[in-house]
Homo-oligomer: A and B are copies of this chain.
Amino acid sequence: MITEFLSFIQENLLMLYALAFAIFLGFELISKVPTVLHTPLMSGANAISGVVIIGAITLIRLSEPDDYLVLVLGVVGVTLGMINVIGGFAVTDRMLQMFNKKK
């Protein structure tokens, strides 16, 4: 399993770089945010984490058209993910209304 892991890394070196950069980037992007924005930022990030929905969509596309268990579970997944996405962005937008008055 160790060798499997090492060869996985070897094949996916660029992924390693991209991941490390993404982690640093996440840190840097957030590290100097004023306190009032914490809540909308949390909510916006939450909406982004709804990207799992892509997985659910892919699954439905791959399912046999008569495999109703997978299809139904998939639709539930897409629905939940979409609630997260749409609700998340909408809530964030509402929260940010209050900054509208600024300046």
Residues of A within 8 A of B (CB): 12, 14-15, 17-18, 21-22, 24-25, 28-29, 32
Contact = CB atoms under 8 A, between A and B. Distances in A.
Contacts of A14: 12, 14-15, 17-18
Contact of A29 (B12, B15, B22, B28): B28
Nearest to A23: B21
A21 B25 contact: yes
Closest 3 CB pairs of A and B: A21-B21, A14-B14, A28-B28
Contact of A25 (B12, B15, B24, B32): B24
15 contacts: A12-B14, A14-B14, A14-B17, A14-B18, A17-B18, A17-B22, A18-B18, A21-B21, A21-B25, A24-B25, A25-B25, A25-B28, A28-B28, A28-B29, A32-B32
